[in-house]
Amino acid sequence: MPKGILVVESSPEGADRDREYNEWYDGTHIGEICAIPGVTGARRYRLHGTEGDVPTYLAVYDLEADDLGAPLVEMAQRSADGRLSPPKALRLDPPPVVKIFELLD
């Protein structure tokens, strides 16, 4: 079965909302995403030496699925039908950067 990672770079709406953003991300969002079939784990990172006044974060989700894009499709479906909690303090302009990388054999 193919393995890979889903990489998401995002930021809070502002430095004053950093705590709210991290509480939502760590307390709600990570668990909801890890419950999606094909997502097998997650790690988060904060950019060292932040640029400007708003920290940038990176989430790395481990994937294992016949179709590595399927968990992202499921994420969109769960977001649309309310099974994923709405984001709190997440900067949407610009939107988070999302990429999928496949593990090389």
Q: Where are the domains of the chain?
A: 3-102
CATH code, residues 3-102: 3.30.70.100
Give the separation between CA 8 and CA 77, rounded to whole angstroms: 18
Tokens representing residue 32 in the block? 């909801």
Amino acid making up residue 105: D
Q: What is the pLDDT of residues 2-41, one digit of tens each?
A: 999 999 999 999 989 999 999 999 999 999 999 999 999 9
For the chain, percent of residues with pLDDT exceeding 70: 94
Residue 52 has pLDDT above 80, yes or no: no
Q: What does the pLDDT read at residue 105? A: 82
Residue 51 has pLDDT above 70, yes or no: no
Handedness of CA 55, 22, 76, 102 (dihedral sign): positive
Position with higher pLDDT, 52 vs 63: 63
